[in-house]
Amino acid sequence: MGTRGRNLLLINPWIYDFAAYDLWAKPLGLLYLAALLERNGWKISYIDCLDIQHPTLKTLGTKQPKRKSDHRGHFYREEVDKPVPLGGIPRRFHRFGLPPEFFRETLRSLPPPQAILVTSGMTYWYLGVQEVIRVVKEAFPHIPLILGGTYATLCSGHAERSSGADFIIRGWGEAQVLRLLGELTGVFPSFLPDLYDLDSLYYPAFHHYPSLDYVCILTSRGCPFECAYCASPILNPGFLKREPAKVVEEITYWVSKYGVEDIAFYDDALLVDGQFTISLLQGVKERDIRARFHTPNGLHARGITEEVAYLMHQVGFATVRLGLETSSPGRQLTTGGKVSNKDFREAVQNLQRAGYPPREIGAYILVGLPGQGRKEVEETIRFVWDCGARPYLAEYSPLPGTPLWEEAVRVSPFDLEREPLFHNNTILPCRWERLNWEDLRDLKDMARKAI
């Protein structure tokens, strides 16, 4: 096959859900893969159905979604019928992303690909995956389609039965995709990265976006903790770190070449290694990099020493979110032991001394864990207030394969094993008489009144 025939189509699908918000969300795994495929001679066509800057959206006569100055904000959305399993949920359901007619129009403009690669996000977003695959197969009916990502990994059996994909990739996709493409097309890779050396990967292919408001950065993969509610150990075999100097080089690249002002760290454990953290922050400071940094995934409180807090403030960490989850010492221990109340209080104090006011220090609180009652959440909200931080409630989503999964299946009123739609945190999958929707509404009101 000559270079003329080396065309691939990569797609980030729609989200079908009750709610979705762009907290600097980009399909980073797919973009890493795109860069690797380009390094191996493939020509990439790329469609991000969630891209708020997609050229076709500018032709819409409707009002554009609201965005904040730091480039987070709403996706374009259209209300759609609720799927039958969620018919009893008293909320409106939406498709987030490009209108389907614009997606089809984009497909018609592309050269025929030799293979199509689709990624996937949350397990309960699979309706968007299904719909994208259905539409793509109308346009390219005989082209092999490969599905990877979170849903494909955690719900691989469901994906094999229901997604419409020809091939399912579980876990890290780089080597698997290159090998599969070789078998399908006869084009075998000339370059294979060392997946255990993250700095051997090329920078994510953000150049496929016509307008780049922000970028996402990974300094590591995986997490040394094994929290009972988290799927990171399933999605990532082990904990791997990059060299801090290499991360600083990448940040410099995006800021200097593309003028990026906002950078979101996607790490599960950004601050877990103190020496690494200080080297990274000092490197950003020495380069005098002017950008706003965001940590939407949450930070480990134990890593926020006085020195780290001051450096974070000096270099421009604008969005600081700590992963507390609960102030119950017993539940902290049974769900992984990554943080104690003492750790959290000291972290907040260090951030305040560094110059962060309470409204800029956020703490994630999990709501709806199996067996968790309203009182525990109320106490956690009050604890966060007392420490001088702002509580953010995050509803628990049961994830297959995690330590809490079997308990979630046992207590949930929904069929979690057969229907991933019931993993949706909006419906409180593990609600019970001591924590229900009315409680959640009251707790959210309580949290909003903080600080």
Mean pLDDT of the chain: 94
Which of 140, 160, 185 is the last residue in one of the domains? Answer: 185
Is 338 among the domain residues?
yes
Task: Report pLDDT for 65.
Answer: 84
Domain harbouring 444, CATH code? 3.20.20.70
Is 193 among the domain residues?
no
Q: What is the pLDDT of residues 154-173, one digit of tens each?
A: 999 999 999 999 999 999 99
Contact 406, 398 (CB under 8 A): no
Residue predicted with more confidence, 144 or 5? 144
Q: Which amino acid is at 211?
A: S
Domain harbouring 79, CATH code? 3.40.50.280
My answer on whether 166 and 255 are in the same domain is no
My answer on whether 70 and 149 are in the same domain is yes
My answer on whether 67 and 150 are in the same domain is yes
Residue 1: band (very low, low, confident or very high) from pLDDT cuts 50, 70, 90: very low
Domain interval for residue 44: 3-185
**Structural domain count, the chain:** 2
337: left (phi over 0), alpha (psi -120 to 50) or beta: left
pLDDT at 150 over 70: yes
My answer on whether 165 and 54 are in the same domain is yes
Dihedral angle, C-alpha 412, 413, 419, 421, nearest 10 °: -90
* Structure token pair of residue 55: 């050229």
Residue 432: band (very low, low, confident or very high) from pLDDT cuts 50, 70, 90: confident
Is 245 among the domain residues?
yes
Task: Report pLDDT for 409.
Answer: 97
My answer on whether 255 and 125 are in the same domain is no
Average pLDDT over residues 175-184: 95
My answer on whether 237 and 283 are in the same domain is yes
Average pLDDT over residues 416-433: 94
Would you give the distance in Å from CA 314 to the centre of its chain? Answer: 26
Is 285 among the domain residues?
yes
Of all residues in the chain, what percent are helix, strand and coil, respectively (each to 5)? 40, 15, 40
Task: Report pLDDT for 5.
Answer: 73
Spatial distance between the Cα atoms of 430 and 416, rounded to a whole number of angstroms: 10
C-alpha dist (Å) from residue 129 to 23, 95, 157, 300, 426: 20, 12, 15, 32, 19
Q: Which amino acid is at 406?
A: E
Helix H, strand E, coil C: the string for 311-363 is HHHHHCEEEEEEEEECCCHHHHHHCCCCCCHHHHHHHHHHHHHHCCCHHHEEE
* Structure token pair of residue 239: 């904990």
Task: Report pLDDT for 451.
Answer: 58
Is 202 among the domain residues?
no
Sole residue written with tokens 């750790």: 343
For 289, other C-beta atoms within 10 Å of its C-beta total 18
Which of 185, 209, 231 is the last residue in one of the domains? Answer: 185
Q: What is the pLDDT of residues 25-79, one digit of tens each?
A: 999 999 999 999 999 999 999 999 999 888 877 776 656 788 899 999 999 999 9
My answer on whether 227 and 170 are in the same domain is no
My answer on whether 266 and 408 are in the same domain is yes
Residue predicted with more confidence, 3 or 117? 117
Q: What is the pLDDT of residues 93-116, one digit of tens each?
A: 999 999 999 999 999 999 999 999
Is 197 among the domain residues?
no
Residue 237: band (very low, low, confident or very high) from pLDDT cuts 50, 70, 90: confident
Smallest CA-to-CA distance from 43 within 102, 98, 2 is with: 2
Is 206 among the domain residues?
no
Task: Report pLDDT for 193.
Answer: 86
Residue 2: band (very low, low, confident or very high) from pLDDT cuts 50, 70, 90: very low
Q: Which amino acid is at 444?
A: K
Indicate the SS3 state at residue 95: strand
Q: What angle do CA 6, 12, 15 make, to 5 degrees?
A: 160
My answer on whether 175 and 229 are in the same domain is no
